[in-house]
Chain A
Amino acid sequence: MALLADLFQQKKNILSIYFTAGIPNLNDTTSILNSLEKSGVNLIELGMPYSDPLADGPVIQKSSDVALKNGMSIEILFKQLKQFREENNSYSIPIILMGYLNPVLQFGVEKFCMTAKSLGIDAVIIPDLTPEVFEKEFQETFRKAGIVNIFLITPQTTEARIRKIDSLSKLFIYVVSSAGVTGTQANDDFKEKYFARLQSMKLKNPLLIGFGISTRKDFSLACKYAQGAIIGSAYIRQLEGAKGIEEITPQFINSILHESK
């Protein structure tokens, strides 16, 4: 897992962007990936759409609907990723796959892990896969393929459980910034206290903060306490607009990374 591990060793203020594969059009995946890489994004979380995304707010729900209507599936996504890796002849930007358990189960967990690995993917995020179920049913398959499962913690996760998740985790822990689905905004005071509490726990894994990160201000606050942050809904909202991907992506990423002039 050189790519991802290197990133966490070398880089502070990691900007990770989530988007759902298959939007705005089925075959836009590679151009979005290219535009994100060129714009200075450090890590991409590629969403595998699902019909019943329980942990997602309206923006990502809608994007999943659109992607599924466009015909996206794990099989097609893997084909697109293969094309992306071949065209670029480089594996320079780390990609994490994110999606719900059921489509992965139907695809076949072992085949999923092996195929992902062959495409230079080191890690996946499956929100409805608990550490308990992972340990019991999937750990061995993931380990053999060399795929890391990223776990989430939330403001409700107890300290003992955070420690347990920390010991199970590799690469990083995904910190859900507030009680809510994706796209939910919590107040900064609440978030800051929570982030500070996590920072003071001195966990062995680095933290990336997600959910409700939409502006440069949110991103900077997260980076004060964690190694970086993840933006999803805010970027997807941009993709829904009329402008082209080549124009949208650098504009949006610039607005996060640099002070507006």
Chain B
Amino acid sequence: MWQVNNDGYYGEFGGAYIPEMLFQNIENLRGNYLQIISSDSFQKEFQLLLRDYVGRPTPLFKADRLSDQLGTNIYLKREDLCHTGAHKINNAIGQILLAQALGKKRIIAETGAGQHGVATATVCALKGLECIVYMGAEDMQRQAPNVARMRLLGAKVIPVLSGSKTLKDATNEAIRDWISNPDDTYYLIGSVVGPHPYPDMVARFQSVISHEIKSQLLAATGNENPDYVIACVGGGSNAAGAFFHFLENKKINLIAVEASGQGIHSGKSAATTQLGSIGILHGSKSLVMQTKDGQVTEPYSISAGLDYPGIGPMHAHLYTSGRATFLSATDQEALSAAYELARLEGIIPALESAHALAALSQISFRPQDVVVVNLSGRGDKDMAAYENLYEPELQ
């Protein structure tokens, strides 16, 4: 009941609210994606690349010092160790193989933190495909290392100057590119957002995360099911992957952590479930941060990857149905959690993943609990922010 239905909805959320200019391409995807991605030849190449190129399975690491401090058992799913530094590449490989099966030659993508853009540029280089990445001008500034990486990988990075100059606007611009280039172009969405079948497709490609967690937990603890799975949510792709195989087991607490920026009611926040209402954004019905007139409002988070005024329809359904618990972390809480992980475990997390870590102190765990935190990405790209905002008292 948590997966997408035949009409492309999760409960009341999802669907395809798209202009006619996109219909043929979306219909083509919808009609073919399941058959293509479940075929033997696709799975063979996908699994091989995940193993030999991405470096999967990523470790499930028992964080002992953090566990001691919190009086419970914390396991980190090390997606930060994926090639290119985040979980985004799982989806990029899946969709590029799909694009090739559909005969597309030109790949376009939007990116917020730049991780999805880097992953897309990487796989395009691997496959010799043209790659165009739309990125908000504001994000290009705060994630400069990723812009340089994309360019080095041969991608063309196009700055987006409309709206808040962040992920929402980059997504608009990528969609406009697809409208203008319907024949040869494939739009590679990086999160579980967009019109059906994108949310389902991206969730399936990311589901490798929870698939691995299960077998790794079984080996480590004798039980494949944790008590908690915790992941940050912008659009929600890493959370979708980390939750995927645990959705049906209601004993498992699924915790999604949104970015509340400078505070939920500060006017500078991206906590969509707290601030949003039902609306349509980027082709699907979901929870959206908007004015009473239905204008999408500009979100804010220190983390470019969570700076999005919507949330995937699957997560909107998990939220309204109560299947998942939604918490939030401020910029400051995320920074503190990142510093703490660096000091306790020698791991510098991405600012996005730091939000998931920040939620740990908001939950009362029992000593016997098994808690999995999806460490979706590494912090190299955020070093400028970490250095600039370094607090001496933490030394």
- Would you call A52 and B296 a contact (CB within 8 A)? yes
Residues of chain A within 8 A (CB-CB) of B183 are 156, 179
Confirm or deny: B279 has a beta carbon within 8 angstroms of a beta carbon on chain A: yes
Confirm or deny: B175 has a beta carbon within 8 angstroms of a beta carbon on chain A: yes
CA distance A211 to B285 in the complex (A): 27
Interface members, chain B 273-300 (any A CB < 8 Å): 278-283, 288, 290, 292-297
Q: Which of A81-89, A123-131, A249-257 contacts B (4 or more CB under 8 A)?
A: A123-131
Give, as a whole number of angstroms, the nearest-CB distance from B235 to chain A: 15
Total interface residues in chain B, CB < 8 Å:
35
- Would you call A55 and B21 a contact (CB within 8 A)? yes
CA distance A181 to B282 in the complex (A): 15
- Would you call A133 and B290 a contact (CB within 8 A)? no
* A178 and chain B: residue at smallest CB distance: B180
- Would you call A105 and B23 a contact (CB within 8 A)? no
- Would you call A55 and B294 a contact (CB within 8 A)? no
Residues 13-31 of chain B, each 1 if its beta carbon lies under 8 Å from chain A, else 0: 0011111110111000000
- Would you call B296 and A156 a contact (CB within 8 A)? no
Interface members, chain B 94-152 (any A CB < 8 Å): none
Residues of chain A within 8 A (CB-CB) of B294 are 50, 102-107
- Would you call A179 and B295 a contact (CB within 8 A)? no
Within the complex, which residue of A55, A68, A75 is in contact with B179, where a contact is CB–CB below 8 Å? A55
- Would you call B24 and A133 a contact (CB within 8 A)? no
- Would you call B18 and A102 a contact (CB within 8 A)? no
Residues of chain A within 8 A (CB-CB) of B321 are none
- Would you call B24 and A158 a contact (CB within 8 A)? yes
CA distance A73 to B293 in the complex (A): 7
CA distance A129 to B292 in the complex (A): 20
Give, as a whole number of angstroms, the nearest-CB distance from B344 to chain A: 42
CA distance A55 to B173 in the complex (A): 10
- Would you call A102 and B296 a contact (CB within 8 A)? yes
Confirm or deny: A151 has a beta carbon within 8 angstroms of a beta carbon on chain B: yes
CA distance A54 to B284 in the complex (A): 13
- Would you call A106 and B290 a contact (CB within 8 A)? yes
- Would you call A127 and B20 a contact (CB within 8 A)? yes
- Would you call A128 and B18 a contact (CB within 8 A)? yes
- Would you call A75 and B182 a contact (CB within 8 A)? no
CA distance A129 to B283 in the complex (A): 10
- Would you call A184 and B162 a contact (CB within 8 A)? no
Q: If A68-B295, A103-B294 touch, does A153 touch B20 (CB 8 Å cutoff)?
A: yes
CA distance A252 to B59 in the complex (A): 66
- Would you call A127 and B279 a contact (CB within 8 A)? no
Residues of chain A within 8 A (CB-CB) of B315 are none
Confirm or deny: B163 has a beta carbon within 8 angstroms of a beta carbon on chain A: yes
- Would you call B293 and A181 a contact (CB within 8 A)? no
CA distance A50 to B281 in the complex (A): 11
CA distance A130 to B172 in the complex (A): 18
- Would you call B20 and A130 a contact (CB within 8 A)? yes
Instruction: Count CB-based A-B contacts (< 8 Å).
Output: 107
Q: If A157-B23, A181-B180 touch, does A51 touch B283 (CB 8 Å cutoff)?
A: no
Give, as a whole number of angstroms, the nearest-CB distance from A250 to chain B: 32
Confirm or deny: A114 has a beta carbon within 8 angstroms of a beta carbon on chain B: no
CA distance A196 to B182 in the complex (A): 21
Confirm or deny: A101 has a beta carbon within 8 angstroms of a beta carbon on chain B: yes
* A127 and chain B: residue at smallest CB distance: B19
CA distance A97 to B25 in the complex (A): 27
Confirm or deny: B320 has a beta carbon within 8 angstroms of a beta carbon on chain A: no
Residues of chain B within 8 A (CB-CB) of A100 are 280
Confirm or deny: B168 has a beta carbon within 8 angstroms of a beta carbon on chain A: yes
CA distance A101 to B15 in the complex (A): 13
CA distance A101 to B176 in the complex (A): 17
- Would you call A157 and B24 a contact (CB within 8 A)? yes
Give, as a whole number of angstroms, the nearest-CB distance from A216 to chain B: 25
- Would you call B293 and A75 a contact (CB within 8 A)? yes
Residues of chain B within 8 A (CB-CB) of A157 are 20, 23-24
Confirm or deny: B181 has a beta carbon within 8 angstroms of a beta carbon on chain A: yes
- Would you call B20 and A106 a contact (CB within 8 A)? no
CA distance A127 to B21 in the complex (A): 9
CA distance A104 to B281 in the complex (A): 13
- Would you call A50 and B295 a contact (CB within 8 A)? yes
Residues of chain A within 8 A (CB-CB) of B179 are 54-55, 179-181
Give, as a whole number of angstroms, the nearest-CB distance from A126 to chain B: 9
Give, as a whole number of angstroms, the nearest-CB distance from A28 to chain B: 19
Residues of chain B within 8 A (CB-CB) of A50 are 294-295
- Would you call A176 and B296 a contact (CB within 8 A)? no
CA distance A103 to B176 in the complex (A): 20
Q: If A68-B295, A74-B293, A158-B24 touch, does A55 touch B162 (CB 8 Å cutoff)?
A: no
- Would you call A130 and B21 a contact (CB within 8 A)? no
Confirm or deny: A152 has a beta carbon within 8 angstroms of a beta carbon on chain B: yes
CA distance A106 to B4 in the complex (A): 25
CA distance A102 to B292 in the complex (A): 11
Interface centre among A130, A132, A176 (most CB of B within 10 A): A130
Within the complex, which residue of A51, A52, A154 is in contact with B20, where a contact is CB–CB below 8 Å? A154
* B280 and chain A: residue at smallest CB distance: A102
CA distance A227 to B167 in the complex (A): 41
- Would you call B296 and A179 a contact (CB within 8 A)? no
Residues of chain A within 8 A (CB-CB) of B168 are 52
CA distance A158 to B23 in the complex (A): 10
Residues of chain B within 8 A (CB-CB) of A180 are 179-180
- Would you call B176 and A181 a contact (CB within 8 A)? yes
- Would you call B280 and A101 a contact (CB within 8 A)? yes
Q: Give me 21 A-to-B residue pairs in the complex whose CB atoms sit less than 8 angstroms apart, sorted by A's number.
A: A50-B294, A51-B296, A52-B168, A52-B282, A55-B21, A55-B179, A65-B162, A100-B280, A102-B296, A103-B294, A105-B280, A107-B293, A107-B294, A128-B19, A130-B23, A151-B20, A152-B19, A152-B21, A176-B20, A180-B179, A181-B21
Extra A-B contacts (13), CB below 8 Å, given A54-B176, A106-B292, A157-B23 = A55-B19, A61-B162, A75-B293, A101-B17, A101-B280, A103-B295, A104-B294, A152-B21, A153-B20, A156-B24, A156-B25, A157-B24, A179-B179
- Name the 4 nearest CB pairs between A and B, nearest first: A106-B294, A103-B294, A152-B20, A156-B24
